[in-house]
Structure 1
Amino acid sequence: MSFRPLVVVVALSLVGCDADVEANAGPRQSREQVFSYSAPLRAGQTLALRNMSGQLSIEPASDDTLRVVADLAWRGDSALPRDVSFRSDTMPGGVYVCAIVGKGQCTADDYDVNSDGTGMSFRRGRVRLGMGGGSLATVHFRVQVPTGVRLELVMIDGSIVSASSAPVKARGVNGQMTIVTSVGPVNAKTVNGNIDARMTTLSGTDSVVVETVNGEVAAYLPMNASATVDVRATNGTVQSDFAGVTGGSQGINKAITGVLGAGATPVRVRSINGGAALRQLDAQGRPLTP
């Protein structure tokens, strides 16, 4: 199987984010499908999808073809903004697709967003923040992913809404995450935002990790989960739907710990400023607690 790499460049003006700049930046504009990419992808392979500002929307495909479309919104008088590029290429075991601003770069292992003093970088699991302004453009990736394809998601400033059928790794800085998969685990971390991670089954030996600094987090596991559980909140509540796990429910440095079944999968749920919850899904994948 082979993939055809594709690079598309459109424009975006990268400016500071103060109120005066916003007020004088011109009318809001948008255009759909400024970028598209498709390729066959097999179960067990990986899609690495990276975005600097906007949204990632992922749903199951009806066949074995990955399809990615990007919509662009911006503020300004230009027909298209300056200085945004989209890159897609193969990597060992899959493909990567990125939205890039300014002099940013994207490879199989690295994602750098930087322009006019703004710097953020991602290297296969870690996001490093630099100093600088914000962007007046947003990218909405709309994705159809084949059955069994693993996801590695990066959303620097915006939301993730994902439904798939294989393990998911997600990293963010500002924004909400809603991640649903029929085959976990989910490993999701952000700085500012809520995370809702739901897994109807667990496979392999990797850990479930759901963590934020500022926000509410909830990990939903199947009712017959085999897991070693550690749920903690520094300033907030901790809750569990599962019998056999113990701990406090409110206050400072509260924790719930315990073993479900044979304890096969480590489960770590954390919030510094916000609540942390371990939730249960029934046999049909419905939450025990609404």
Structure 2
Amino acid sequence: MLLTLALVAGVAPLAAQDTRFTKEMRPGDRLELQNINGEIRVTQGTGRTAEIVVTKEVKAGDGSLVKAIMEEGTGYVRVCTVYLNRDPNRSTCRGENSGNWSSAGRVRFEVNMHYEVRAPAGVRLEVESVNGNVVLRGIDTPATVETVNGAIDLDGVGAHRLETVNGRITGRFTSSSWSGDLDLETVNGSIELSLPGDFSAQIAGETVNGSIDFGEFPVTMRGKWGPKTFSGTIGEGGRRIRIETVNGSVTLRRR
């Protein structure tokens, strides 16, 4: 399968720093996105070609010390952000991205890499980020998302594992016609789910410092002060939803 890498030039200053990757992918293939600073936005495309456009935003220092690269193997495609301050010839995702200083230890660089992704239907997503929000739109297959400092916003269907340390998680599910479990976890941030009227699941979770609002859903809460746990059966049960937060509220709504 053909791998294409192109630099897209344009009139606007930032357009010259866009990098575009395309790759044909089959259902069941895995698309991995690994970023350090910047937002990742994923929507579902209409064809079999994955398209990833990475926009480099140089805020300070030497922007040439940061780049995006693509790797591919059997059943997967990986696009990642790498730092070149330790190895200017680095060409793989493997390696250390420690610090954002030049090799001489003097020139600091501050660069955001923003990912705009169109993923083919049926492709599994694995997203990792350090500082930046992750937005998923219209995704119909399982996604695993991990970020440290950033919110996660999901609109679509499918079983997912969404995890952040500092940020809220928002999920709007447009259909109940999917199987598999849903795991949501954050330390400092709220979790809010909007579910279809015919949605069925077994739900359980906990929060330490935060309110709980289940609306009309038949969920039982235990604990009033400090840690609070909850569980219940929505509709006919079936799939499992696990929700955990330390400092943040939990809200369930019916669409």
- Give the 3 Å change call, closer, same or farther, for CA 93–241 of structure 1 in structure 2: farther
Give the C-alpha shift of residue 58 in structure 1: 1.4
Give the C-alpha shift of residue 76 in structure 1: 3.7
2:34 to 50, 55, 58: 50
- Give the 3 Å change call, closer, same or farther, for CA 41–241 of structure 1 in structure 2: farther
User: Which residue type is aligned with residue 71 of structure 1?
Assistant: T
1:66 aligns to 2:50 (yes or no)? yes
1:203 aligns to 2:178 (yes or no)? yes
Aligned pairs (5 A) from 1:82-161: 82-102=64-84, 103=86, 112-115=96-99, 136-161=110-135
Give me the whole-angstrom Cα distance separating, in 2, the residues matched to 1:188 and 1:258.
21
Give the C-alpha shift of residue 255 in structure 1: 2.5
Q: 2:44 touches 2:119 (CA, 8 Å); kept in 1?
A: yes
Give me the whole-angstrom Cα distance separating, in 2, the residues matched to 1:135 and 1:268.
39
87-96 or 227-236, which deviates more:
87-96
Q: 1:236 touches 1:250 (CA, 8 Å); kept in 2?
A: no
Q: In the TM superposition, what whole-angstrom CA distance separates every residue of 1:88-126 from its partner, at most 9, and x where no partner exists?
A: 122342211111123498978x68532368xxxxxxxxx
Give me the whole-angstrom Cα distance separating, in 2, the residues matched to 1:71 and 1:177.
20
Give me the whole-angstrom Cα distance separating, in 1, the residues matched to 2:212 and 2:230.
7
Give the C-alpha shift of residue 227 in structure 1: 1.7
- Give the 3 Å change call, closer, same or farther, for CA 193–43 of structure 1 in structure 2: same
- Give the 3 Å change call, closer, same or farther, for CA 151–254 of structure 1 in structure 2: same
- Give the 3 Å change call, closer, same or farther, for CA 217–202 of structure 1 in structure 2: farther
Give me the whole-angstrom Cα distance separating, in 1, the residues matched to 2:95 and 2:214.
36
Give the C-alpha shift of residue 74 in structure 1: 1.2
The equivalent residue for 2:231 is: 257
The equivalent residue for 1:180 is: 155
Q: Secondary structure at the match of 2:165?
A: coil
Aligned pairs (5 A) from 1:70-81: 70-76=54-60, 81=63
Q: In the TM superposition, what whole-angstrom CA distance separates every residue of 1:132-153 from its partner, at most 9, and x where no partner exists?
A: xx95110111111112222111
Q: 2:37 touches 2:132 (CA, 8 Å); kept in 1?
A: yes
Q: In the TM superposition, what whole-angstrom CA distance separates every residue of 1:60-102 from its partner, at most 9, and x where no partner exists?
A: 2122211111111113476xx1311222122342211111123
- Give the 3 Å change call, closer, same or farther, for CA 84–41 of structure 1 in structure 2: same
Give the C-alpha shift of residue 253 in structure 1: 1.3
Give me the whole-angstrom Cα distance separating, in 1, the residues matched to 2:16 and 2:166.
28
Contiguous gaps of at least 5 residues in structure 2? 8-12, 102-107
Give me the whole-angstrom Cα distance separating, in 1, the residues matched to 2:61 and 2:34.
27
Q: 1:106 touches 1:112 (CA, 8 Å); kept in 2?
A: no
32-41 or 67-76, which deviates more:
32-41
Q: Secondary structure at the match of 2:38?
A: strand
- Give the 3 Å change call, closer, same or farther, for CA 258–67 of structure 1 in structure 2: same
Give me the whole-angstrom Cα distance separating, in 1, the residues matched to 2:172 and 2:16.
30
Give the C-alpha shift of residue 157 in structure 1: 0.2
Give me the whole-angstrom Cα distance separating, in 2, the residues matched to 1:194 and 1:38.
31
Give me the whole-angstrom Cα distance separating, in 1, the residues matched to 2:148 and 2:51.
26
The equivalent residue for 1:212 is: 186
- Give the 3 Å change call, closer, same or farther, for CA 152–113 of structure 1 in structure 2: same
Give me the whole-angstrom Cα distance separating, in 2, the residues matched to 1:234 and 1:139.
34
Give me the whole-angstrom Cα distance separating, in 1, the residues matched to 2:95 and 2:146.
12
The equivalent residue for 2:208 is: 234
- Give the 3 Å change call, closer, same or farther, for CA 157–77 of structure 1 in structure 2: closer
**TM-score, with length taken from structure 1:** 0.72
The equivalent residue for 1:275 is: 249
User: Which residue type is aligned with residue 50 of structure 1?
Assistant: Q
**TM-score, with length taken from structure 2:** 0.81
Give me the whole-angstrom Cα distance separating, in 1, the residues matched to 2:78 and 2:186.
25
